[in-house]
Amino acid sequence: MKPIKVSSTNRRPIVPHLICAAVILSLLFLAIQTSFFNDNRKYDLNSEDVRILSDFQSSVQQCVANRGLGLTADIVDHCKLVLKFPEGTNSTWYNAQFKHFEPLEYNYDVCEAILLWEQYRNMTTVLTREYLDARPDGWLDYAAQRIAQLGADKCYNRSLCEEHLNLILPSKPPFHPRQFQSCAVVGNSGDLLKTEFGEEIDSHDAVIRDNEAPVNEKYAKYVGLRRDFRLVVRGAARKMVAILNGSADEVLIIKSVTHRDFNNMIKSIPNPVYLFQGIVLRRGAKGTGMKSIELALSMCDIVDIYGFTVDPGYTEWTRYFSTPRKGHNPLQGRAYYQLLECLGVIRIHSPMRSKRVQDWSDVPSREMISKAHSAALRLKRSQAGQAGGLGPFGSCKVWGHVSPDVSGPISGSPDMSDTRKNSNYNKWEVMPFESLRKEAQEHHIEMGGVSLYKMDGNKLDDLVCVKHSLKSKA
């Protein structure tokens, strides 16, 4: 009887399979062990920061409970929380694009938020010549984005672009961090007519208003009469002369781009005019009001907001000086403004809060905010594998330097009217450093004479930083 031959094709390679399985199991065990070790090492390195941020989250949660008029904050971890409206909140805002009504819950990363807004306290938010000079291809690429009706996506002819921008382009920052102690940002909400905040608004060191909001005796007891800054959009250009009504010192800040209508108007008025150093920030509250807060925070220690319709119970935006009109998402905006108040960025004043004791004791202290900011910064840099000890300049992507002997031209053009030529429109650009508020001088020295500018987008790590000589007039 012949032995049965086993075909080689039917043999199972048992030994190689076992070897492969053993290798896979070893690699898997090694990966789990390495991950566990790294997680523990990471936790050990940042455990104190996590504790600081967790304590800060608890303080924010309590602040929302005390001041949120029905809003609550649910903590997810040391950075993330969810702001929730109570059940039964009237969600009337319909999003036609996504075909749903406004939600009643909003997710926020407090670590990212505090990094962003504390950074704004050190920022320059007015476009300057030194920024365009320092930024790579600043004149070729970026300048073109700020000029409407240029007819090209790049400034191939720099002289032409300068002709468009010179009128509103200071050589260096006209305004400085900490320049004012307190600022009032006045929105346009019809809620302003329910209170008489006028005298309180006028008591601030500076008042910032939006677009065509009127300032006159008719509305004085509601919105005050003081007018220091006005953030304006393109559509308000043709109306601005009438709105200014002889207010020659009110500074106009153009929100997005300059264009012919603005330039023609600017040449005939005595007011200082500058261009907002605009960036796209994808946040829960939008519009000119939010940009006004960004502007205020870059100049003021304390930012009080009025007329932002942040109380519950409303169903649409209204204006104190015109018929009602729809604006931005009410619930989402209200949640974000409440978060900003509990992060110490703004202080909210509104009809439902006007009779409450506004001692702000339930808002986290500056010391707690400063510690949370430092912890969030360390945590972010450790996660990105960045070295510590970089201070406020760790996000500087581009550096520029200004010689103490170079002052640069004052913004303006040869074809301005005598009204503008003979006015004090450039006073901010020639203001002596010694005349600045003491806190502003000290901050500039602490920063080593460096001005910080945002570059693009919603990133924290993309600053243009310009070094000035401390011997020069900042």
Q: What is the per-residue pLDDT across 343-394, written as a single tens digit (0 to 9) for each?
A: 999 999 999 888 776 788 899 999 999 999 999 998 888 877 765 556 788 8
CA 53/CA 50 separation, integer angstroms: 5
State the DSSP string of 56-91: HHHHHHHHHHHHSTT-EEEE-SSSEEEEEPPTT---
Would 400 be classed as within a structural domain?
yes
Q: What is the pLDDT of residue 101?
A: 80
Strands 300-306 and 347-349: parallel
| Tens digits of residue pLDDT in 219-269 | 999 999 999 999 998 777 778 888 888 789 999 999 888 888 888 888 889
Secondary structure of residue 114 in the 3-state scheme: helix
Report residue 388: phi and psi, to 5°: -85, -175
| Tens digits of residue pLDDT in 181-223 | 999 999 998 889 999 999 999 999 999 999 889 999 999 999 9
On the question of pLDDT at 451 being above 60, the answer is yes
Q: What is the pLDDT of residue 207?
A: 98
Centre a 10 Å sphere on the Cβ of residue 322 and count the other Cβ atoms it contains: 12
Residue 438 CA: distances (Å) to CA of 172, 175, 181, 296, 304: 20, 14, 10, 18, 21
Q: What is the pLDDT of residue 34?
A: 45
- pTM for this prediction: 0.86
User: For the chain, what percent of residues have pLDDT higher than 70?
Assistant: 81
Q: What is the pLDDT of residue 381?
A: 82
CA 319/CA 214 separation, integer angstroms: 11
Q: How many domains does the chain have?
A: 1
Q: What is the pLDDT of residue 36?
A: 38
Would 99 be classed as within a structural domain?
no
Would 410 be classed as within a structural domain?
yes
CA 53/CA 234 separation, integer angstroms: 41
Residue 104 CA: distances (Å) to CA of 68, 70, 160: 14, 12, 50
Would 138 be classed as within a structural domain?
yes
Would 399 be classed as within a structural domain?
yes
| Tens digits of residue pLDDT in 260-294 | 888 888 888 999 999 998 665 555 566 788 899 99
Please tell me which residue, 6 or 445, carries the higher pLDDT value: 445
Would 5 be classed as within a structural domain?
no
Host domain of residue 166? 129-172+394-468
Would 273 be classed as within a structural domain?
no
* Residue 385 CA neighbour count, 13 Å, CB half: 1
Would 147 be classed as within a structural domain?
yes
Report residue 10: phi and psi, to 5°: -95, -10
Strands 206-210 and 180-186: parallel
Q: What is the pLDDT of residue 56?
A: 97
Q: What is the pLDDT of residue 11?
A: 46
